Amino acid sequence: MSPSSGESISVSLPVASAPSGLSITKIEPDDEGLMVSLNLASKGGYDTVTYVVQCTGGGRTIEKRSSYPNVNVTGLQNGISYSCRAWAFNDDGQTSTVTYPSLVAPEEQLSTGLPIWMLYQAIQNQTSNARQQ
């Protein structure tokens, strides 16, 4: 169907823009690292964006990039407090930089159970003590 003389056709195309509305939802300590979870309100019409997280502490800064909103920042020192900030970008620009409101320190992750050899030894000691009584 074509317009007749004097008529016009209006077409509305989406306009791409910079991503917006970035927030750091949480940071979880890990062994020598931090898992930073981000939320982005708008990707600006793009399918993907690049997320950047920068953590500073102990006299050094580590920066990690990811195409996913969960960024694993590795190479940090356990017990050192880090300040983290983040931003996201696409071909049309970047978000404002956001900073996590508190310092976070990576920590060694301890296993929750005892090794089998330790359990065996404890049972042997308990059995031995019971026989002596």
| Residue 66 burial class via C-beta count within 10 angstroms: exposed 0-12, middle 13-18, buried 19 and up | middle
pLDDT of 34: 97
Output the pLDDT for position 132.
64
Residue ranges of domains in the chain: 20-109
- Identify the architecture of domain 20-109 in CATH: Sandwich (2.60)
Position 124 confidence tier, pLDDT thresholds 50, 70, 90: confident
Could you report the per-residue pLDDT of 88-122, keeping only the tens digit for each?
999 999 999 999 999 999 998 776 666 677 677 77
Is the entire prediction scored with pTM above 0.95?
no
